[in-house]
Structure 1
Amino acid sequence: MELKFKVAARISRPVEEVFEAVADPEKLSGYFTTGGAKGRLETGATVMWDFHDFPGAFPVEVTEVIPNEKISILWEAGDGSEDSCDGGSAGYNVAATMTFEALDDNRTLVTISEGGWRQTEAGLKTSYGNCEGWMQMLCSLKMWIEHGINLREGFYK
């Protein structure tokens, strides 16, 4: 069984505004990366994301960006296996893709898919945690961009 998932949400803002809320590190830091984001999401860039719930900034490799349509990234699986995040220098990555679809009613459908964990108990557990995190990102994005509310503020610290 391949370990992968997909989550989605409709955001009541135009696609350009929603895309920028993800691609721009200052905006992303306003509702998602509670410890901050450094670097714009652009093809070929390696940016740094930091979270209060997982302290310590870590690299995110941006593999493809199509403005207002798609952002694809690679980052460490973080499943605690011998060759992952904390266990060694080799590591292995999982791939996440965010797509942005303009809807007829001036809303944007954001879909995030991620996969690539090893088929182990640790891989399964970590994939569930990431699924939870990406869904929380979408909920936080919706509240921040539509209502100016930061759902993650005080959530972890």
Structure 2
Amino acid sequence: MELKFRVFGRIARPVAEVFEAVVNPDQLSQYFTTGGAQGRIEKGATVTWDFADFPGAFPVEVVDVIENSLIVLHWESNEGNGVMTEVTMRFTDCGGGVTLVEIGEAGWKENQAGLDASYDNCMGWSQMLCAMKMWVEHRIRMRDGFYK
């Protein structure tokens, strides 16, 4: 059984604005990487993400980017042992200034550590979508203090 998941949510802003909120490190740092993000998400880049509530910056490899449509990332799984997972973000214009954001992740080992790590990331990406919605639509930093 392959360990993978997909989460999604709608954000009441145009695709270009929602996409920019992910690829721009200044934006991403406002609602997700609260310890800071370094580097713009561009194909072939390696950016750095840090979380204030889970300190320790780590690299994120940018595999592919299609503007206003797709982002594919590789990063090391929190299960350890050098396991890399693939994150796929899709942005779809729903009309009326609404964007559907889908985030999928796959690649964990099929064992208890992999299962636990996948559940943790599923929770994290779901929370990221909620925090992004609050930031992009209302400029509220929902993540502050969420995990402390």
TM normalised by structure 2 equals 0.97
Gapped regions of structure 2 (runs ≥ 5): none
Q: Work out which of the residue numbers 88, 91, 98 in structure 1 matches 2:89.
A: 98
Contact 2:74 2:84 in 1 (8 A): yes
Question: Partner letter of residue 69 of structure 1?
Answer: S
Residue 104 of structure 1 and its aligned partner are, at CA, apart by 1.7
Give the distance between the partners of 2:53 and 2:112, measured in 1 at CA.
22
| Partner SS state of residue 17, structure 2 | helix
| Partner SS state of residue 145, structure 2 | coil
TM normalised by structure 1 equals 0.92
Aligned residue pair count: 148
Residue 52 of structure 1 and its aligned partner are, at CA, apart by 2.2
Structure showing greater radius of gyration is: 1
Give the distance between the partners of 2:26 and 2:98, measured in 1 at CA.
22
Residue 130 of structure 1 and its aligned partner are, at CA, apart by 0.2
Cross-structure match for 1:54? 54
Of all paired residues, the percent bearing the same amino acid is: 60
Give the distance between the partners of 1:145 and 1:53, measured in 2 at CA.
21
| Partner SS state of residue 95, structure 2 | coil
Give the distance between the partners of 1:147 and 1:75, measured in 2 at CA.
29
Alignment of structure 1 residues 1-157 onto 2, 5 Å: 1-80=1-80, 84=81, 91-157=82-148
Contact 1:52 1:156 in 2 (8 A): no
Gapped regions of structure 1 (runs ≥ 5): 85-90
Runs of 4+ in 1 over 3 A off after TM superposition: none
Give the distance between the partners of 1:6 and 1:49, measured in 2 at CA.
21
Contact 2:83 2:109 in 1 (8 A): no
| Partner SS state of residue 102, structure 2 | strand
